[in-house]
Structure 1
Amino acid sequence: MTRLLDIARIQLVNWPALVAYPLGLLVAMPLLGWGIDVSNGETGGSPHAIFLLPMVWGVVASGHLQSMTQVFPFALGLGVTRRRFAAATALVVTAQALLLGLGLVVCAAIERATGGWGREARIFGLGALRTDDPFTQWLSYSGLIIGASALCVLVGTVFQRWRQTGIYLSVFGTTALLAGIGSLASSQNWWPAIGRFFDDWPSLTVFTAFPLALALALGGAAWLVLRRATP
């Protein structure tokens, strides 16, 4: 376990991207929301949502992408095995997600206490959660962050294994696959059924269990690629 923590600390060489930038974004998001309201002429007289949360997932994911493309070769040069680096990555991803999830819960509580930052703005409160229970919110926020992080860990390993060619092929292939699925769902009128499927599940399942299952699948794929990746 001590060895694993040592390898995790190697990844925290990239601590600004993994910790400082995401936390800084949480602090800045109310100000960004105010700027959006001003540009849209929103006076704050009615409840409204400002969709900024995907920015958090993007910043978090980019940090792990840097870890796989920059820290991974450095760690191998220090004699760290791929297996231990993968385990340390999972530890860092989980710890970061729990920390940022807690930060999001705190921001959501401040948002409620201040009446939506004094203008009925909803930035952190996910209406789809259908609950204000802090523990459920913490797990939900953390699950979404873990899912986004796992995706970029996989992207980073693909880059290490096949470089730009692998990234281009992955992007084109994924885009084509999603477009095909979307077209099929539209032609068969499956979207209402898909919406009902997710609506029938508890919020904790949709925002925590499903992202964690996705993260496990993406993590497994990343490990298969990482085993043959070279610096």
Structure 2
Amino acid sequence: MTRVLDVARIQLVNWPALLAYPLAVVAAIPVLGLIIDITNGETASGPHEIYLLPVLCGVAAAGHLQSMTQVFPFTLGLGVTRRKFAQATALVVLGQALLLGLVLVVFGAVERTTGGWGREARIFGLGTLGQDDPLTQWLVYSGPIVAVSAICVLVGVVFQRWRQTGIYLALLGSAALLAGALATAQRWWAPIGSFLGGQSLLALFTAYPLLFALALGAAAWLLFRRATA
């Protein structure tokens, strides 16, 4: 475990991409919303939380792509095994997601206390999802961040294994798979929508993203074992 923590610390050398930039986005969103409102001559911005999480997920996950393409070769040179690096990566991904999720919950509490930043804005709240419990909000925010981070880790592993050729083939394969799925499953969307509509908030935003992340993590590990620096 000590070795895993040491490798995690090496990954955290890239802390600006993993933590500082995502936190800067979180802090800048209320200011940006205020500027937009002033520009439009409005006093209230209305609910905005739907736009925050996807942006934050993308910014937070980009750091893990850098870890795979830059930190991984360095740690291999230090004699770190692929298993230890994979375990450290999972630890960093989970820790980052939980930290950012907690920050969002705190900002949401401040937002409610200040009456939507003094202008009835909803940026961090989850009112449209009908859930105000802080623990559930924490999990709901953290789950998607873990899932998107797992995608970036897998992309980084594909790059390490097959370089640019692997990325291009993966993109083309994903596009072909998606096109085939859309062509053959058009009649499935109504049942899928009905199924998802009946799921709980924790299932949609925490359980399913975590299962998705685990599946990607398993795929990444299979490729990871043959990745080279």
- For residues 58-84 of structure 1, give each alpha carbon's deviation from its aligned partner in whole angstroms, at most 9, with x where no partner exists: 111100000000000000000000000
The corresponding residue for 1:4 is 4
Letter in 1 for 2:53: L
1:192–1:108: structure 2 CA closer, same or farther, 3 Å change rule?
Answer: farther
Q: TM-score scaled to structure 1, two decimals?
A: 0.92
Is the counterpart of residue 70 in structure 1 residue 58 in structure 2? no
Letter in 2 for 1:199: G
The CA RMSD measured in Å over matched residues stands at 1.7
Q: How do 1:1-231 and structure 2 match up within 5 A?
A: 1-39=1-39, 41=40, 43-45=42-44, 47-49=46-48, 51-127=51-127, 129-185=129-185, 187-188=186-187, 190-231=188-229
- Mapped contact 1:37–1:43 kept (Cα < 8 A): yes
Shift of 1:97: 0.7
1:26–1:180: structure 2 CA closer, same or farther, 3 Å change rule?
Answer: same
Shift of 1:224: 0.6
Letter in 2 for 1:197: F
Letter in 1 for 2:211: A
SS at match of 1:132: coil
Mean Cα deviation higher: 12-21 or 69-78: 12-21
1:36–1:195: structure 2 CA closer, same or farther, 3 Å change rule?
Answer: farther
1:12–1:48: structure 2 CA closer, same or farther, 3 Å change rule?
Answer: closer
SS at match of 2:131: coil
- Cα distance in structure 1, aligned partners of 2:23 and 2:103: 8
Letter in 1 for 2:18: L
Q: TM-score scaled to structure 2, two decimals?
A: 0.93
Aligned length: 228
Runs of 5+ consecutive residues of structure 2 not aligned to the other structure: none
Shift of 1:120: 2.6
- Cα distance in structure 2, aligned partners of 1:12 and 1:212: 22
- Cα distance in structure 1, aligned partners of 2:200 and 2:47: 24
Shift of 1:114: 2.2
- Mapped contact 1:53–1:123 kept (Cα < 8 A): no
Letter in 2 for 1:163: R
- Cα distance in structure 1, aligned partners of 2:37 and 2:57: 22
- Mapped contact 1:104–1:124 kept (Cα < 8 A): yes
- For residues 162-198 of structure 1, give each alpha carbon's deviation from its aligned partner in whole angstroms, at most 9, with x where no partner exists: 111111111122122223323444x42x333222211
Percent same amino acid among aligned pairs? 66
Mean Cα deviation higher: 54-63 or 29-38: 29-38
- Cα distance in structure 2, aligned partners of 1:142 and 1:96: 9
- Mapped contact 2:37–2:45 kept (Cα < 8 A): no
